[in-house]
Amino acid sequence: MRSDMNRFALSSLATTAALSPYAHAAGDSHGPSWLPEFLTHPATNVAFFALVIFLLIMWRVGGFKALTGGLDKRAEGIQAQLNEAKDLREAAAKLLADAERSQAQAEKDAEAIVAQAKKDAKLLMADQRAALAAKLERREAIAEARIQQAETEAAAEVRRAAADAATAAARNILLANTSDDIFEQAAQDIEKAL
């Protein structure tokens, strides 16, 4: 294949070289009137033939395939980058939506926690008030019991003091009567009464 390309390139160059003297010789005549003026110049014709031969060589060698293949690869690379950017954008949008949903859920959870805390605080306050009221009632009952016990003890103390005073007075009265039997009888009656 390499030798075919070399042969084709050499033949193209030889044809161009062979036609160039004729193109120079035809430089004095202007050619048909229907042709534009720039096509009647020999230098333009040689350049045109050289371009045609170059394009034929490029086509034969596969230069156009290489050029279009390179452009296709570049287009595929750009398309792959665009697809990757699109995928990244979609993933970012999904992550953003997930984050927004998580934030909304967290706000709802926080509101629920605050509401539950308020409810628990109210219940705790009610329980504390009830406990305080019960404690005050118990202390009041204990204080009343102590007061009643003190009153009972004071009444008993007053009775004892009265009994002692009555006993002492009776003794004094009986001693004044010098009779021992009466004294003993009165002491026994007092002890029975108490």
23 pLDDT more than 60: no
Domain boundaries, the chain: 2-61, 155-193
80 pLDDT more than 50: yes
87 pLDDT more than 80: yes
CB atoms within 10 A of CB 45: 20
Give the residue-averaged pLDDT of 119-126.
93
pLDDT for position 6: 53
pLDDT for position 27: 47
- Any long-range contacts for 40-48 (C-beta under 8 Å, 24+ apart)? 46/16, 46/19, 46/20
pTM of the model: 0.36
Of the candidates 14, 15, 45, 13, the one whose C-alpha atom is nearest the C-alpha of residue 27 is 45
* CA distance linking residue 128 with residue 186, whole number of Å: 63
* CA distance linking residue 26 with residue 42, whole number of Å: 7
Residues 59-76 have pLDDT tens digits of 888 777 877 888 888 899
Q: How far is CA 162 from CA 45, 126, 170, 190, in A?
A: 161, 53, 12, 12
